[in-house]
């Protein structure tokens, strides 16, 4: 049972344009959501997070939107840069679960020149 | 500031052999985790610990054991390695629940069981 789903395995975007990565979840107990970025042969690195009490969080070029009623979140990267090419994982946790994260399967983003 | 350090980076094991994957963190984080990542899949939680002396099973604990004798170290033990344990293993730590900065991950151990 995949509780966190990233239905697009890959995405290609031109440099300077917007990248939109999507994530859906099924567990209504999830109340904290995070995005991680992963380069080959490295561990994932934290990118941005959002609590369920918010519907938007921004950090520079990165914005995460949360739609609780649809159980959907998205990561927007504007403008996209070649260094953004990586695999992006969506993750979720529920209060009282020792911050255990449930991860999606990842979306590989390729930013082309 | 090293963060989370995992050793070894690569290992090939024969079926039935045992090994310990080492993980140490220098951030004084209470929470530590072991995940595995199979090709094309997300990370699956194997075991976690909320403090020294306290460990608990995650989603895929079978075939593994852990211990947490100190805040810094959280080794993962594989007994009787099987081909199904071929994977990339990531150790992670976090300061507390709901940390706004999420986990800090190690760089991973790529394990092949033949």
* Three-state secondary structure of chain A: CCCEECCCCEEEEECCCCEEEEEEECCCCCCEEEEEEECCCCCCEEEEEEECCCCEEEECCEEEEEECCCCEEEEEECCCCHHHCEEEEEEEECCCCCCCCEECCCEEEEEEC
Q: How confident is the model at residue A100 (pLDDT cuts 50, 70, 90)?
A: confident
CB contact under 8 A, B4 and A43: yes
By Cβ distance, the residue of B90, B94, B99 closest to A43 is B90
Average pLDDT over residues B83-98: 88
pLDDT of B100 > 70? The answer is: no
Nearest chain A residue (CA) to B94? A99
Interface subset of A 17-76, CB within 8 angstroms of B: 32, 34, 36, 41-46, 49, 51
The CA distance from A58 to the nearest CA of chain B, in Å, is 13
pLDDT of B99 > 90? The answer is: no
Average pLDDT over residues A50-56: 94
By Cβ distance, the residue of A6, A44, A99 closest to B99 is A99
CB contact under 8 A, B108 and A106: no
The CA distance from A76 to the nearest CA of chain B, in Å, is 18
CB contact under 8 A, A105 and B40: yes
Lowest mean pLDDT segment, chosen from A19-28, B36-45, B75-84, B89-98: B89-98
Average pLDDT over residues B2-23: 96
- CB of B103 closer than 8 Å to CB of B2: no
Q: How confident is the model at residue B39 (pLDDT cuts 50, 70, 90)?
A: confident
Q: How confident is the model at residue A67 (pLDDT cuts 50, 70, 90)?
A: very high
CB contact under 8 A, A41 and B108: yes
pLDDT value for B1 = 63
pLDDT value for B97 = 60
pLDDT of B81 > 70? The answer is: yes
By Cβ distance, the residue of B42, B92, B99 closest to A104 is B42
pLDDT value for A96 = 75
């Amino acid at each position: 049972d995949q509780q966190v789903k990233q239905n697009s395995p890959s995405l290609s975007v031109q440099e300077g344009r917007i990248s939109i990565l999507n994530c859906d979840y099924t567990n209504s107990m999830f109340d904290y959501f995070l995005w991680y970025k992963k380069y080959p042969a490295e561990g994932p690195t934290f990118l941005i997070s959002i609590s369920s009490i918010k519907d938007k969080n921004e950090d520079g070029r990165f914005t995460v939107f949360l739609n609780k009623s649809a159980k959907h979140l998205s990561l927007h990267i504007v403008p996209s840069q070649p260094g953004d090419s990586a695999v992006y994982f969506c993750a979720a946790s529920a209060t009282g679960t020792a911050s255990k994260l449930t991860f999606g399967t990842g979306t590989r983003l390729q930013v082309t020149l | 500031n090293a963060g989370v350090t995992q050793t070894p980076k690569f290992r090939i094991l024969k079926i039935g052999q045992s090994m310990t994957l080492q993980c140490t963190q220098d951030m004084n984080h209470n929470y530590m985790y072991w995940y595995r990542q199979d090709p094309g899949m997300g990370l699956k939680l194997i075991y976690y610990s909320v403090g020294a002396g306290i460990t608990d099973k995650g989603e895929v604990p079978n075939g593994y054991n852990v211990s947490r004798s100190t805040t810094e170290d959280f080794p993962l033990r594989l007994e009787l390695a099987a081909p199904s344990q071929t994977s990339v293993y990531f150790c992670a730590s976090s300061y507390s629940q709901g940390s706004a900065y999420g986990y800090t991950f190690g760089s991973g151990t790529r394990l092949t069981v033949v």
